[in-house]
Structure 1
């Protein structure tokens, strides 16, 4: 075990989908390498954790990794859901291993819940009663939202009426435990935010340019293997409730493959879903992380200036 007088460094590069986070992370790793320091890029994207979603999650390939070690990319099989707690536990191990080896861990992704769970900890919510979960998941999104407005109006006001996953989660928590999700979240534990020297960067591109990139990227995915990915998932007969089956692009392409709509409509639906997701991520990263976290447009990034502290540290 290495002995240090100061916390070990942890770089974090976050932002909405299609904002160039992975490119920035690799550039930082290369800049550290030039100064004699090793680095490892650790995935913090809830879609890129699944082995089944190489194309649809825009997971970096070997060429894009440029020889920089990457971890927690494609680690989970789609049949096994990866919760924020699951990911945080794995990320802690990867971060500790990097520090032990004298490397700088670089978290990169767009899943705010993953990052907040790792840094701030998680509420000790007990397991949900299976009967309650089945009842809640059997409800339509409209009915679940209406029920949540009655059971936990404060949480309902925080959620979009079409955010089926978060609505169901909030409703099952209050029905199963008798306490609202907000009351549980007042007391969190297990975070490492106070144990590391954090160097955060949030990439917030121009909105219109971001949405345009979302459109072109999804259309290109269909010719790069996305259709084959969805065909392989459907062939496995996985539950439609699994996160991998709800990933952006899976439902849209599956509907086309089943003849429910045309290829063109699948592209439009997928692009719209991607834009909606990017919009939610943009809002979250603009407002939720601490205000002293640096927020920049990708084109304004100067690695040496922004991460100067990492280059100075004897890590």
Structure 2
């Protein structure tokens, strides 16, 4: 058996900055690797998750020039946890602004979880700007996927954690948990917001790995992270990502000429494997890897191995 690939060594950005994208939003960005090498953009999850130093290490720093950015309202972007003018299509437009700022005609798009959703939306709108796509933890943001995670489905796998998730919501409101959380996450009372934010965020942090992993889940309990994560994620999901139901699968034919890799954990709880399989069928030109014994997080060994192999594979491809 071949040795599983792991992250490249820790690396600091060679450049950082902010971009005023309008509507009162200022987006933080950073670049790692070699200026002028193969361009790529890393699209983080959530929405509202922000970037982390570990994500810089998914690419060979001698062969890539990678731009990572905090999407509107999260991480080091400002204003913090802001919902106004914060939609999928605002973020797609931000990506185009960042590409133009970077000065490249095309770039590789790498996204996981919600990042796969945004990457698909961007690539389907701007296929001529994408050299390759690497996707992990496929989320096509259909009503079925949202109901599975926030109403009935994953609740059956994690009954103990589910009880903690629904605890802030009175029984009479539990028929629509996303709406009930929306009311609390947008309440005027900061204490009400924070109770809901922590419960929402911890539910995700504790269900994304196959086995408990405090290194992954602990940050979901931090107040600043939880507030942006929960408010923004709930805001996007209540609105169905401003996508027609099933749109990303129906429009997958627009990706036919773009090389791609799809990586998904067999036991991914937030993102059922069926939707990764459906994307594979709608976009058969992309390599498909369904990883046994793996959950959702990119740090799961089998998932990480395939992601590193994918970035290495495309490192020498023409821009």
**TM-score calculated relative to the size of structure 2:** 0.39
Does 1 or 2 have the higher relative contact order (CA < 8 Å, sep 6+)? 1
> Which has a greater percent of helix?
1
Larger Cα Rg: Structure 1 or Structure 2? Answer: 1
